[in-house]
Amino acid sequence: MNFKQQCVGLNDGHIMPILGYGTAQNPEVPKSKILESTKIAIDIGFRHIDSAYVYQNEKETGQAIRRKIADGVVKREDIFLTTKLWSTFHRPELVKVCLQRSLENFQLDYVDLYIIHLPMSIKPSEKTYTKNENGKILFETVDLCATWEAMEKCKDAGLVKSIGVSNFNRRLLEMILNKPGLKYKPVCNQVECHPYLNQSKLLDFCKSKDIVLVAYGALGSQRPKIWVDQNTSILLDDPVLGSMAKKYKQTPALIARCFQLQCVVVVLAKSFTENRIKENMQVFEFQLTSENIKVLNGLNKNI
Could you say which DSSP state residue 237 is in?
G
The nearest distance, CB 71 to ligand NAP, in angstroms, is 24
Shortest distance, CB of residue 251 to ligand NAP, whole angstroms? Answer: 6
Which span sits near ligand NAP by CB under 6 A: 61-69, 120-128, 174-182, 267-275? Answer: 267-275
Residue 11 vs residues 188, 215, 264, 272: alpha-carbon distances, Å: 9, 18, 16, 32
Q: Which is nearer to ligand NAP, 157 or 222 (CB)?
A: 222
Instruction: Let me know if 55 is a catalytic residue.
Output: yes
CB 21 within 8 A of CB 269: yes
Tell which positions 167-226 bind ligand NAP, by CB under 6 A.
167, 190, 216-219, 222
Determine if 121 is a binding residue for ligand NAP (CB under 6 A). no
H or E segment to which residue 191 belongs: strand 188-192
- Note whether 48 binds ligand NAP by CB under 6 A: no
Is residue 88 a contact point for ligand NAP (CB under 6 A)?
A: no
Q: What are the percentages of helix, strand and coil residues in the chain, rounded to 5? A: 45, 20, 40
- Using CB under 6 A, which of the segments 21-29, 85-93, 151-159, 285-293 binds ligand NAP? 21-29
Rounded to a whole number of angstroms, the minimum distance from the CB of residue 217 to ligand NAP is 4
User: Quick one: which of 99, 269, 288, 299 contacts ligand NAP (CB under 6 A)?
Assistant: 269
145 in Cβ contact with 176 (< 8 Å): yes
Residues contacting ligand NAP: total by CB under 6 A: 24
Q: What angle do CA 154, 157, 159 make, to 5 degrees?
A: 65
User: Which position's Cβ is nearest ligand NAP?
Assistant: 22
Q: Does 153 bind ligand NAP (CB under 6 A)?
A: no
The helix/strand/coil state of 256 is helix
For residues 118 and 128, is the Cβ–Cβ distance under 8 A?
no
- x/- map, 223-262, ligand NAP, by CB under 6 A: ----------------------------x-x---------
Applying CB under 6 A, which of residues 165, 203, 272, 296 lies at the interface with ligand NAP?
272
Give the separation between CA 238 and CA 33, rounded to whole angstroms. Answer: 30
Q: Residue 204: enclosing H or E segment and its boundaries?
A: helix 200-208
Q: Toward ligand NAP, which CB reaches closer, 157 or 303?
A: 303
Residue whose C-alpha is closest to residue 184's, from 141, 225, 154, 224: 154
85 binds ligand NAP (CB under 6 A): no
- Radius of gyration, alpha carbons of the chain: 19
Among 113, 268, 288, 296, binds ligand NAP (CB under 6 A): 268
Rounded to whole angstroms, the Cα distance separating 83 from 163 reads: 10
- Known catalytic residues are 55
> Under the rule (CB under 6 A), what is the footprint of ligand NAP?
22-24, 50, 117, 166-167, 190, 216-219, 222, 251, 253, 268-273, 276, 279-280
